[in-house]
Amino acid sequence: MDAGSLDPSNLQFQRDRVASVNEVASRDAAVVFKKVTRDYPAPFREHPFTDPQQLKARLSTLLEDTALSDLLPS
């Protein structure tokens, strides 16, 4: 009000209310929950298990890779 941005006689910011925060947040939270718990993990649930020996070799290769070691603090 001191800077002239607000009219002290008219402090209503939004006259035509579209929805409350609670209504929108509840709706959006349901969409996010569905995506995170059902849609996003679905491809991984169908992915086949890797042969343990192949997995061991792949993990060893990843752990031995030093390509990014320069990025880590000494």
Cα 51 versus chain centre, distance: 31
pTM: 0.34
Tokens of residue 68, six digits: 């990014």
List, in sequence order, every residue forming a beta bridge with 1; answer none if it has no partner.
Answer: none
Domain assignment of residue 74, yes or no:
no
Q: Is residue 10 part of a domain?
A: no
Give residue-wise pLDDT tens across range 20-33: 777 777 778 888 88
Q: How many domains does the chain have?
A: 1
* Residue 5 lies inside a defined structural domain of this protein: no
The pLDDT of residue 64 is above 60 = yes
Among residues 48, 64, 67, 45, which one has the least CA distance to residue 56?
A: 64
Residues 8 and 1: beta-carbon distance below 8 Å: yes
- Residue 33 domain-assigned (yes or no): yes
Q: 47 — phi, psi (to 5°)?
A: -70, 135
pLDDT tens track for 2-53: 777 667 777 766 555 667 777 777 778 888 888 889 888 887 888 788 899 9
